C-alpha cells in the first residue's frame, strides 16, 4: 500500500522551488495559487532567504502551494491517484495539502484557509514570546515528565527520540538549563509555540471561516494528526485540521496507523526529507521516497506503481461509505441492528482496540444498502463497514 505525506512548517529552505519553476505548467499553476493566497509564492520559493520564509504567514502558504502543484506534476490527471494511493497524511499544516489531495476540500479552499491560518497563527505568536525546541533522544517518559515540570507541551510527538517542546521562551530556557538525561536539544526556527493553547485565538478565527467552506468526503483514507485515526467525513476532516492548530501533533500515532494499514511505500511531497527520514527510523521494512526535484518524477511514478493499490473507499452521489477509524474488533450497536434507515449521526457500533473503544457514527445517515462487516469482525483502519443510500429527508 502507498501512502503520500506532506511536510509541515520548518521543512522549507531558500530556493527549494527553483528547479520546479523551470516547468511552465508548474509555474502557471503556482501563479494561480499565489493569486488565491495573495502572495508571490514563486518569489518566496526561489529568491527569498531562509529568514524571510521562516515567517509563519509566508511559510505555510508556500508549503501547501508547493505540495499541491507538485502533486499535479506527479498525477496530471488527479483521478488516477485514487486507483493507486491507499492513504494520505500531512504533518501540521501539511494536513491541508493532504485534505485537498484527497478531495475533501479544493486546492483554492486550502490556499484561502492556509493564508488565514498563517496570518492568525502569526498574530497569536506575537502576543507572547514563545518558541519550540526539538528534544532528540532520552527516555520518553523522562522527557515528557521534564517538559511537564517546566510547563511545556509536547507539541509534536514524532515517535521515540523525537519530541518537540513548545512554550514561552522562559520555559524553553529553563529546559535548556535542565535538559533530560541523554537528550540533545535543538531550538527550532519557528515564530511561536504552535500546537499549544497559545494558538487558541487562531483556532477561533479559522472556525468562523470554516462555516462557509463546502466539504466532501475524501476519496482516499485521511490519517488525522489528532489521534492517528482514519477520517472519512469531510466535515470532521476540516474540523480536526482547524482544532489541531492548538493541539499536539501525534505523528507517532499516524505512523502506527500506517503500520496497521499495511503500508509498504511512503512518498513525501516537496520540500521533502523530514517525514521520509522519520519513517526510515520508525517504519522498518517500509520503502520511502523523498520527492525533492522534478527530475525525480519518473522514479516517483515508478515508486507509486510499485506500491500502489486502489483505495477501498468509494463515494458517489448515489451512496456513501462508513469506514473504520482504527484497527480493532467491530461491535455492532443495537441502534443499527436490523434497521433499514439510519438517521444522520447514528452510532452504528464501536471499534475496540487494546488502547480504547471508538464509536463509529454514520455521519450522513441514509438507507442501509449493504453491511460489509459482521459483529465481532476484526477490522483495519479505513476498512468499509457499511454502504448507505443518502435520503434527502434525513
Active site residue 353: no
* Grid coordinates of 220: 482516499
Which of 153, 283, 26, 224 is closest to 45 using CA atoms?
26
Separation of alpha carbons 388 and 321, rounded Å: 6
Which one of the listed residues 92, 150, 311, 364 is annotated catalytic?
92
Radius of gyration of the CA atoms of the chain, in A: 21
Point out the catalytic residue in the list 73, 91, 150, 195. Answer: 195
Based on the residue annotation, tell me whether 73 is a catalytic residue of this protein. Answer: no
**Per residue, what are the HEC states of the chain?**
CEEEEECCCCCCCCCCCCCHHHCHHHHHHHHHHHHHHCCCHHHHHHCCCCCHHHCHHHHHHHHHHHHHHHHHHHCCCHHHHHHCEEEEEECCCHHHHHHHHCCCCCHHHHHHHHHHHHHHHHHHHHHCCEEEEEEEECCHHHHHHHHHHCCCEEEEECCCCEEEEEEEHHHHHHHHHCCCCCEEEEECCCCCCCCCHHHHHHHHHHHHHHCCCCCCCCCCEEECCCCCCEECCHHHHHHHHHHHHHCCECHHHHHHHHHHHCCCEEEECCCCCHHHHHHHHHCCCCEEEECCCHHHHHHHHHHHHHHCCCCCCCCECCEEEEECCCCEEEEECHHHCCCCEECCCEEEEEEECCCCEEEEEECCCEEEEEECCCCCCEECCCCEEEEEECCCCC
Nearest partner of 360 among 389, 392, 386, judged by Cα: 386
Looking only at the bridges linking them, the beta strands covering 357-362 and 341-342 are: unpaired
Do 9 and 63 contact (CB within 8 A), yes or no? yes
C-alpha cell of 244? 489541531
Catalytic residues: 92, 195
Amino acid at each position: 500500500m502507498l501512502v503520500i505525506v506532506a511536510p509541515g512548517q520548518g521543512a522549507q529552505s531558500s530556493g527549494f522551488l527553483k528547479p520546479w519553476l523551470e516547468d511552465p505548467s508548474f509555474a502557471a499553476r503556482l501563479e494561480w495559487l499565489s493569486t488565491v493566497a495573495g502572495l508571490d509564492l514563486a518569489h518566496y520559493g526561489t529568491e527569498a532567504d531562509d529568514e524571510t520564509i521562516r515567517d509563519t504567514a509566508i511559510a505555510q502558504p508556500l508549503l501547501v502551494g508547493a505540495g499541491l502543484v507538485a502533486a499535479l506534476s506527479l498525477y496530471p490527471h488527479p483521478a488516477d491517484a485514487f486507483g493507486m494511493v491507499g492513504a494520505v497524511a500531512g504533518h501540521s499544516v501539511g494536513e491541508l495539502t493532504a485534505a485537498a489531495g484527497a478531495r475533501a476540500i479544493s486546492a483554492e479552499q486550502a490556499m484561502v484557509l492556509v493564508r488565514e491560518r498563517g496570518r492568525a497563527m502569526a498574530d497569536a505568536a506575537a502576543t507572547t514570546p514563545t518558541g519550540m525546541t526539538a528534544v532528540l533522544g532520552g527516555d520518553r517518559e523522562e522527557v515528557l515528565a521534564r517538559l511537564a515540570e517546566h510547563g511545556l507541551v509536547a507539541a509534536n510527538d514524532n515517535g521515540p527520540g523525537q519530541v518537540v517542546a513548545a512554550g514561552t521562551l522562559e520555559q524553553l530556557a529553563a529546559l535548556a538549563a535542565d535538559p533530560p538525561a541523554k537528550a540533545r536539544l535543538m531550538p527550532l526556527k519557528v515564530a511561536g509555540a504552535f500546537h499549544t493553547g497559545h494558538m487558541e485565538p487562531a483556532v477561533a478565527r479559522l472556525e468562523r471561516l470554516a462555516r462557509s467552506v463546502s466539504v466532501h468526503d475524501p476519496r482516499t483514507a485521511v490519517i488525522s494528526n489528532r489521534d492517528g485515526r482514519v477520517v472519512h467525513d469531510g466535515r470532521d476532516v476540516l474540523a480536526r485540521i482547524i482544532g489541531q492548530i492548538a493541539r499536539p501533533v501525534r505523528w507517532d500515532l499516524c505512523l502506527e496507523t500506517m503500520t496497521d494499514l499495511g503500508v509498504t511505500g511512503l512518498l513525501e511531497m516537496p520540500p521533502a526529507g523530514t517525514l521520509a527520514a522519520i519513517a526510515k527510523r520508525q517504519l522498518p521494512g517500509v520503502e520511502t521516497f523523498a520527492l525533492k526535484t522534478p527530475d525525480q518524477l519518473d522514479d516517483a511514478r515508478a515508486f507509486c506503481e510499485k506500491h500502489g493499490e486502489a483505495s477501498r473507499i468509494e463515494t458517489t452521489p448515489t451512496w456513501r461509505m462508513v469506514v473504520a477509524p482504527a484497527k480493532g474488533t467491530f461491535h455492532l450497536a443495537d441502534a443499527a441492528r436490523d434497521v433499514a434507515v439510519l438517521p444522520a449521526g447514528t452510532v452504528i457500533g464501536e471499534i475496540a482496540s487494546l488502547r480504547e473503544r471508538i464509536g463509529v457514527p454514520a455521519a450522513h445517515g441514509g438507507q442501509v444498502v449493504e453491511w460489509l462487516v459482521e459483529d465481532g469482525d476484526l477490522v483495519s483502519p479505513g476498512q468499509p463497514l457499511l454502504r448507505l443510500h443518502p435520503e434527502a429527508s434525513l
